[in-house]
Amino acid sequence: MDKIIINGGHTQLKGQVEIEGAKNAVLPLLAATILPSEGETVLRNVPILSDVYTMNAVISHLNIPLVFDKQQNTVVTQAAESVAIEAPYEYVSQMRASIVVLGPILARNGHARVSMPGGCTIGSRPIDLHIRGLQAMGAEITHNGGFIEAKADALHGAHFYMDFPSVGATQNIMMAATLAKGTMVLENAAREPEIVDLANLLNKMGADVKGAGTDTIVIKGVEKMHGTTHHVVQDRIEAGTFMVAAAMTQGNVLILDAVREHNRPLLSKLSEMGVDIIQEEDGIRVIGPETLKSVNVKTLPHPGFPTDMQAQMTAAQAVANGESTMIETVFENRFQHLEEMRRMGLSADISRNSANIQGGGPFSGAEVRSTDLRASAALILLGMVAQGTTTVGHLEHLDRGYYKFHEKLAKLGADIKRINPKESCHV
């Protein structure tokens, strides 16, 4: 099994780093390729990640011809005359995000069968909002044999208020509404940059989506959609991870083409911690201070502090001077990395969704395991600060969302290597 080995305690990251296209944008964009009934769709800046392979497999399974050119980071799909109705367990069990094919398959076929995604290590992750949104548009939904089956002779527009601004539900409902009759008004919608990226692609495909990036999205149904070309937005979570890495290692790193607007809550917290943030022509430079100051952080839906940066920010609080509280409000079980960090010397008390962190260390290298995607990145960041050798296992989580993470860190000066690279998952 692959492992990352870090020799830490002396790392000062320096240089510049390129960031990939966003995992959380490209997965729904790939799902949107189900919608066009004519033409070719070209997605550029597609990251080489195991989740992308999984979504590509789902799309191909639906009879949509798809070619992934890894040299060019491009996916090309051809509109299918007839799209299959079923996304099987085999794929959905590998990646929860495959649930976002439900809306587009239903929109194209009037009938969709998607395996129930189930929970994952960070929480139970129900899909009630996806289902209620589709029901509001006239879909009949049944659960049978581990599948959700959705049927609608003709989806229609409606008003739907989401109890919580779910990212996936917003994407599913938006895509279902593109080909519905009439106007869909989605209130308390998610506002993430990845939602805006999806709306931009849908509009280029001929849809009529307005308000993405605000809490009310209005989708006027159109007769049909066509292929187009689209550049996937930058991964703000990968960018943020390198920002935190620079901050934790007294580093000086230029995050190329980073978008300040997409990482505002993180940048503001890093500034409070004493980190220098400089906007340059080519990106954002992050300079870590000699000693980081602790700050309290609470995760929230965008534009609040992203839950996908919580583990990495917890690693930063661990090395910062002082006590801090991390409150996780989005997922109910997203503190497993703390247990692994304890093995490296972390002192933290967890009470429900709140962790009190006594920062400052000292930290020593240890053998730890990734428990989820962002936990793996956070453990590697702490490993760069801890004295001695840290070994991080279960890299299948890391490969879902980071492309050549260890190589990028090594290029910035970290003493890090990955062993058994041949067995690595597609990457």
Ligand X SMILES: CC(=O)N[C@H]1[C@@H](OP(=O)(O)OP(=O)(O)OC[C@H]2O[C@@H](n3ccc(=O)[nH]c3=O)[C@H](O)[C@@H]2O)O[C@H](CO)[C@@H](O)[C@@H]1O
Ligand Y SMILES: C=C(OP(=O)(O)O)C(=O)O
Active-site residue list = 120
Residues 270-329 contacting ligand Y, CB under 6 A: 308
Q: Which residues pair with 389 in a beta bridge?
A: 7
Residues 69-128 contacting ligand Y, CB under 6 A: 96-97, 120, 122
Q: Pick the closer one to ligand Y by CB: 123 or 393.
A: 123
The binder of ligand Y chosen from 230, 236, 374, 406 (CB under 6 A): 374
Q: Which residue pairs from 117-126 have beta carbons closer than 8 angstroms and sit at least 24 positions apart in sequence?
A: 117/92, 117/93, 118/93, 120/96, 120/372, 121/333, 121/336, 121/371, 121/372, 122/331, 122/333, 122/334, 122/336, 122/372, 123/331, 123/332, 123/333, 123/334, 124/332, 125/96, 125/331
The binder of ligand X chosen from 20, 235, 308, 328 (CB under 6 A): 308
Q: Please check whether residue 63 is in contact with residue 82, taking contact to mean a CB–CB distance below 8 angstroms.
A: yes
Answer with the entry of ligand Y, ligand X, none that 262 interacts with (C-beta below 5 to 8 A by kind). Answer: none
Q: Where are the alpha helices (DSSP H) in 86-235?
A: 89-92, 102-109, 128-136, 167-178, 193-204
* Burial class for 420, CB neighbours closer than 10 Å (0-12, 13-18, 19+): exposed
Answer with the entry of ligand Y, ligand X, none that 169 interacts with (C-beta below 5 to 8 A by kind). Answer: ligand X
Residues 331-350 contacting ligand X, CB under 6 A: 331
Give the residue numbers of the binding site.
Answer: 23-24, 96, 125-129, 308, 330
Pick from 315, 305, 337: nearest CA to 248: 315
Q: Pick the closer one to ligand X by CB: 241 or 307.
A: 307
- Using CB under 6 A, which of the segments 56-64, 161-169, 178-186, 217-225 binds ligand X? 161-169
Q: What residue number has its CB nearest to ligand X?
A: 168
Q: Please check whether residue 340 is in contact with residue 365, taking contact to mean a CB–CB distance below 8 angstroms.
A: no
Answer with the entry of ligand X, ligand Y, none that 136 interacts with (C-beta below 5 to 8 A by kind). Answer: none
Least distance (Å) between residue 277 CB and ligand X? 23
Answer with the entry of ligand X, ligand Y, none that 401 interacts with (C-beta below 5 to 8 A by kind). Answer: ligand Y
Which residues of this chain interact with ligand Y, rule CB under 6 A? 24, 96-97, 120, 122, 308, 373-374, 401
